[in-house]
Amino acid sequence: MSGKIKELIDEILQKKAKGNDFLISITKAKMALKGIDPDKFTNTSEDDSLTIEKLKTMAKEMNLTISSI
């Protein structure tokens, strides 16, 4: 399956930032610090289980409920 990482990134950004551009920037920076470049992934990007696990962990740390998980 491809595009799962992009879905997770988009959902985390949507739920955490709620449309606030500044919070989107901050959240993307947090992802980058954890080794995930959110701008690198598209709907056709191959999914990597390690990256998916990092995103799931990140969502839990932010107290977000992710429906894509």
Please tell me the total count of domains within the chain.
1
User: Distance from first CA to last CA of the chain, Å, rounded?
Assistant: 14
In this structure, is residue 67 part of a structural domain?
Answer: no
Residue 68 included in any domain:
no
Compute the average pLDDT of residues 45-67.
93
Mean of the per-residue pLDDT values of the chain: 92
| pLDDT(35) > 70 | yes
User: Whole domain around residue 21: which residue ranges?
Assistant: 4-61
d(CA 64, CA 66): 6
Q: Is the pTM of this model over 0.75?
A: yes
Does the structure show a pLDDT above 70 at 40?
Answer: yes
Residue 17 inside a domain? The answer is yes
Q: Considering the domain boundaries, does residue 26 fall inside one?
A: yes
Residue 48 included in any domain: yes
- Is residue 36 in some structural domain? yes
Specify if 66 maps to a domain: no
9 pLDDT band, cuts 50/70/90, is very high
The residue-averaged pLDDT of 52-68 equals 91
Residue 2's pLDDT is 80
